[in-house]
Structure 1
Amino acid sequence: MNLQTFGYALQFLTRLPAPQTAEFNPADLSRSAGWFAVVGAIIGAIVAAGFWAGYFISPWLGALVALVLWVWVTGGLHIDGLGDVADALGAAHRSPERFLEVLRDPHVGSFGVIAIVLLLIAKLVLLAQLSEGWHTLAALVLVPAWARWGTQVWSLYVPPLASGSGERFSWQINRPVVVVQGGILALLSVWLAPALLAALLIIPLIAVYWRVRLRGITGDCLGASVEVTETLLLLAVVVAAVILAG
């Protein structure tokens, strides 16, 4: 892990300014993975700032500003993966070969559109249910960090389904670094947002899903998994708040 790989992670995962690489080296994608959780926290900080700014007028405006910033800063990278995966799963009929065939189609079908719309609605509604306060802002910072930490876990424990970014991503992931980062995120969650410890259940279950459903994973699957993880973690925060309030 160095500043060069941090710049690559920032460039790959966000629209934020980052040093441009003169020549793409596929191994750089894997080397930069150690920074993914950190970049996720940066994304979360931007989302939290938007939520905080808009919340002064109304919770719904805070939710809308946060969601728009969330989509903007990531460039819709993972949402695009979700749409592609939804189309492929809808047409695959449990055939990995058919799944890959549909996944390579650049067009977005009805399954993809429905999945994207439902995801954005779910995030908007869940964000609007959050209360103001520094615990909420901390949770918003940690949610994208957990989801991008998950990409390393899925890549380590689910074999690649085909060559591509998903396969290259797993080349040089450092297991001890993944464990340490997971421990840090868990400690921060215990202190700031205990509901986010649900990530320790959600992320392994997603890995099991891909192993059972397709016996492998692709780059689009990683993106879709990030979106699903973020949404489920937001749900966990909202449910926990309701339980505590009751």
Structure 2
Amino acid sequence: MTALTRPFRGLILAVQFLTRIPTPQVRDFHEDDIGRSAFWFPAVGLIVGLAVAVPVELLSDRPQLAALAGLVIWVWVTGALHIDGLGDVADALGASHRDPARYAAALKDPHMGAFGVVTVVIQLIVKFVLLSEAASQDLTWVLVLVPAWARWISLALPRLTTSLQAGLGERFGGQITWPTITVWVVGLSVASVLTEPVLLVAIPVAGLIAFYWHRRLGGVSGDGLGASTEVSESVLLIALVATTLG
């Protein structure tokens, strides 16, 4: 890493972890760097949102084609990282019957079962439909904020509840502070007020998701953070589209 890129080390690592976007190589990497890079997760969300919004805007006169292009870019640029977590969590929840030990054991199974496949398919259909609506309702550039808010929620969850098991979720949680969460919630809130205030629903959604994980399993795992990101994106898209219906 050159002297020019060193100040952006955390951002570069966050981009590497959350996306397939090429970045400068980080040579002197340490495991703790991943946890410290979590500060930049919402910024990566903005990058993802921009990558999705551009093709949707370019094809907005054909909403279904715009939605397909946006969805393909969304899946590609993130490497289906969170979708994979959503599928794993769906399988684990279906097999655990509210038992955290069985949930953790089910997450270790590398094969995806019926619960996971059905959940992933439904999630992709939901995003396709909502992107099509967003394209037809001239909401393209507001889409940039949706992945950013969703990654802010995943940033806040380790502080709003506990880590269910050792792993990336616990590593991130140990590095995330309330000042970090506050900085991003203020910045994203200002951007939302200036563009589409309904996206402020992300703040109570974070609390509801944390409450769900706490009541269901007593905490959240790394895969749970990924699944929560996907669910948050869908909820925010629904809220965004619903404001212009009727």
TM-score where L is the length of structure 1: 0.94
| 2:93 maps to which of 77, 89, 92 | 89
Residues of 2 paired with 1:115 and 1:20: CA distance?
35
2:127 maps to 1:98? no
**Amino acid aligned to 2:78:** T
Residue equivalent to 2:53 = 48
2:28 maps to 1:29? no
Residue equivalent to 2:116 = 112
Residues of 1 paired with 2:178 and 2:51: CA distance?
28
Q: 1:53 to 1:21 in 2, by over 3 A?
A: same
Aligned residue for 1:170, secondary structure, equals helix
Aligned residue for 1:216, secondary structure, equals coil
Residue equivalent to 1:165 = 168
Residues of 2 paired with 1:222 and 1:165: CA distance?
10
Structure 1 range deviating more: 25-34 or 40-49: 25-34
Residues of 1 paired with 2:137 and 2:124: CA distance?
23
CA displacement, residues 132-164 of structure 1 (integer Å, 9 cap, x when unaligned): 576x13321000000011111101121111111
Residue 177 of structure 1 and its aligned partner are, at CA, apart by 2.0
Please give the root-mean-square deviation of Cα atoms over the aligned residues, in Å.
Answer: 1.4
Residue 55 of structure 1 and its aligned partner are, at CA, apart by 1.7
Conserved in 2, the CA contact under 8 Å of 1:89 and 1:99?
yes
2:93 maps to 1:75? no
Aligned residue for 1:55, secondary structure, equals coil
Residue equivalent to 1:186 = 189
TM-score where L is the length of structure 2: 0.94
Aligned residue for 2:164, secondary structure, equals coil
Residue 23 of structure 1 and its aligned partner are, at CA, apart by 5.4
**Amino acid aligned to 1:98:** R
- Give unpaired runs (5+ residues) of structure 1: none
Residue 114 of structure 1 and its aligned partner are, at CA, apart by 0.4
**Amino acid aligned to 1:159:** T
Aligned residue for 1:20, secondary structure, equals coil
Conserved in 2, the CA contact under 8 Å of 1:126 and 1:238?
yes
Residue 70 of structure 1 and its aligned partner are, at CA, apart by 0.2
Percent same amino acid at aligned positions? Answer: 49
Aligned residue for 1:224, secondary structure, equals helix
Residue 131 of structure 1 and its aligned partner are, at CA, apart by 4.1
Runs of 4+ residues deviating >3 angstroms: 131-134
CA displacement, residues 184-234 of structure 1 (integer Å, 9 cap, x when unaligned): 101111110112111111111001111111101111000000000000000
Residue equivalent to 1:63 = 67
| 2:151 maps to which of 144, 148, 154 | 148
- Give unpaired runs (5+ residues) of structure 2: 1-5
Aligned residue for 2:219, secondary structure, equals coil
Residue equivalent to 1:20 = 25
